[in-house]
Chains A and B, each alone.
Chain A
Amino acid sequence: MSTTIALLGQPNSGKSTLFNALTGLRQHVGNWPGKTVEKKEGTFTLGGVTYKVADLPGSYSMSANSDEEVVTRDFIASGQADVVCILADSSQLERSLFMLADYAGISAPCFLVLNMEDVAKEQGKKIDPDAIEKKLGIPVMMFSATDTKAYEKFYAVLERALKNKSQLNVSALENEYEKVEGYSKIKSQLDDGVISGYTPMWLTVKFMENDKVVSAKLKNALPDEKLKKIEETAGGQNGAIAMGECKFKWIDGILSGAVSSSSPGVQLGKLDRIFTHRIWGKPAVVLTVILGLIASFIPALPFMGIGSAIPMLKGPVTASLSGAGCPEIVISVLCDVVIQSLGYIVQMLGFVFGVTFVFGLLEEAGVMARISYVFDNTMGKLGLQGKSVMPFLVSFGCTMGGAGGARVIDNWGQKVLTIALAWAVPCGAAWSIVPMLAATFFGAWSVAVIVAILLTMLLHMWLTAKIFGRRLVKEEERCGMIMELPPYHKPKWGALLRYVLGRTKDTFFRVTKVVMLVCAIFWLLSYAPEGSNSILYNIGIAIEPVTKVFGLPWQLFLAFVASMVGKEGSVGVISALYTGGSYGAAFNAAMSGAGAAPDLTEILLANVARPEALAFIFAITFNLPCVVALAATYQEIHSAKWTAKIALYYTAVSLVLAFIAYRVGMLIW
């Protein structure tokens, strides 16, 4: 004759340590019948009595959310266990006693082991097991399963529980349940023993929690009339929340006066007090981002110096190649396409490096999570999910990555809206071109231009959400997130630098291909023998009356069109149209007063007015990101109609923004 002990507890409550210590090598491991859940059994002998120990699968509760939980409760309800040893983690009793609360209502005798006593002591917690025992009506002990000397105490408590057949006192818990609407009505329909091993209280709670297994069993066990009555009363999701609240209140009641802790109360750090402030939170976050963008100019400076020095190579290269008898067209391609583009690319890389470094640093330090938190409520109101944060963040690098990132959003409308808004986030290519152009035209005021772009981005996203959100996301689908903010970290400089250098390198190869290709195409189209006009010039002059409305000379308008292929492409176009060697006559005709300048910066400054430059910067920043992002969007949302709608909307908005920027620029300069 043997006595069976079932070990019940949440994962990491120390169940396996106790099982191994009790049974040693006398263990058998198999599977529960019909399940892939591991079954561990073992034996030990004490005072001539053989004890059989069943190590039940670690599960959070006694609900039917997993096979482990179903196996656990079926075993206990089957009456195979003479006593159930419930383990709880002493270091987090508020959480780990949930299993005990969920067990309440099962009639098998039990006792409670408050394991990990040593950890609780280290945390400064003082637990009074006698006070808890008085409230629960079952034996309760402090324990440390890793301490071999503590097992005598365990055996004594085990014998006491077996001798007294100790039952959990559930009256206080039932008092809580009775306060919930519908509980008493459902319970009154259930007779004792309606399902063997479970009390009507336990079955009522599970039914109210929408436990499918219990509901199915009741369906078979109850007459139709009773079943109809309880189904009418069931509270759906609210029932589960209400039952959970009752259990937590009961746990708090048990721990009240029995547990004391020396740990300080909840306190926010100084920075978090600012970031999470109702009034100052948003301004603080916006200021952080602006300061970050300003700081990103610092690492960009050396790159700018090198980039602007590269076109100086044109002189020596031209001289040496001319001396070697090289054809003029080859020299022109090398100098006006290759060297010129390379100079621009190096300058652009500086900003990619700077922006990636600063934003990577903010993410590493945990500040980016605070930024998401501060704007989460606003995002919820706009119909977005917290998941949208990641696509937006990735879009600072690559809109295509952002569109791909929206794949984790299940709701189609929210996914489309997220991608539509991610397009408004200036990508890595925009961050490489825009600061460079802004620095060229506006010097120290370029920071103000960047800030204006950032604010416009936020306004654009808000407006876009308002326009598209109504059709894509229903009011009832709009809600905020629950967020757990990470602690502030010291950045891992090695990992951060690897990321920044990796992205800079990747941008260099990607940008070089696009810039060189587009620059070469536009250079060829703009190439014309002396005394005649190029194809591009003729087209440009024809469309200029329209493009001028948006503040864009035809050269910049063509660069704007090229930016739809890839933002980097616009640099290639500018480079080709404003510096093309054989393009001189047509160029000079188009640009009255254009002087022969040694590099592109000077040519741009001589031929493009500041309002036009401002219009161009806004036009390319908020234009559709690139054709590949367009394809990625279609791939994610599977709607040609919505893809086209978003693309047309962005093209129109970018031109409207250019129009406004031009007019604002005219007022200033």
Chain B
Amino acid sequence: MLAIELDTTVEDIKRRIEYLERMNIIRRVSLGVPGCGTCSGCEGSRCEGCMPQGGFRNMGEMWEIV
């Protein structure tokens, strides 16, 4: 999508994101959600009552400006 808008390649977008991340200009967003602490089997980032096993894995990657 971004590659189409900027008339470039996916590889170009990926290397630019990597550069900005390495230079601490943007950072990868952690999508880990701690469990609610009340469900059965709720420990750390594993919470059967709130999310699938291993968390929400198919939400893609996100970066935010530092």
User: CB within 8 Å of B: which residues of A?
Assistant: 60-61, 63, 65, 92, 94-95, 98, 209, 237, 240-241, 244, 248, 265-266, 268, 272, 276, 360, 363-366, 368-369, 372-373, 385-387, 389-391, 393-394, 397-398, 400-401, 404-405, 407-408, 428, 479, 481-486, 489, 495-496, 498-499, 502-503, 505-507, 509-510, 628, 632
Contact = CB atoms under 8 A, between A and B. Distances in A.
8 contacts: A368-B59, A373-B60, A397-B50, A398-B39, A408-B32, A479-B65, A481-B63, A481-B64
Which of B34, B35, B52, B53 has its CB near the most chain A CB atoms (within 10 A)?
Answer: B52
Contacts of A404: 33-37
B51 A394 contact: yes
Nearest to A59: B22
Contact of B56 (A373, A390, A482, A483): A390
A509 B15 CA distance: 49
A398 B23 contact: no
B15 A98 contact: yes
A10 B62 CA distance: 23
Nearest to B34: A404
Contact of B64 (A368, A386, A484): A386
B25 to A, nearest CB: 6
Interface string B22-66: 111110011111111111110000011111110010111111110
A484 B52 CA distance: 21
A428 B10 CA distance: 39
B59 A502 contact: no
A506 B17 contact: no
A238 B51 CA distance: 40
A397 B51 contact: yes
Residue with the highest number of chain A CB atoms closer than 10 Å, among B10, B25, B58: B58
B43 to A, nearest CB: 13
B35 A363 contact: no
A387 B52 contact: no
B12 A94 contact: yes
A434 to B, nearest CB: 19
Nearest to B51: A394
A389 B62 CA distance: 11
Contact of B38 (A276, A372, A484, A628): A628
B23 to A, nearest CB: 5
Contact of B15 (A94, A484, A496, A510): A94
Contact of B60 (A237, A393, A485): A485
- Residue of A98, A265, A483, A509 with most chain B CB atoms under a 10 A cut-off: A483
A276 B3 CA distance: 13
B56 A393 contact: yes
Given A408-B33, A481-B62, A482-B17, A363 B56 contact: yes
Nearest to A371: B59
A477 to B, nearest CB: 9
A639 B42 CA distance: 26
Given A363-B59, A387-B31, 14 more contacts: A63-B22, A63-B23, A240-B23, A241-B25, A363-B58, A364-B52, A385-B29, A387-B29, A401-B35, A405-B34, A481-B62, A502-B48, A503-B49, A510-B49
A276 B1 contact: yes
Contacts of A360: 52
B36 A401 contact: yes
B18 to A, nearest CB: 7
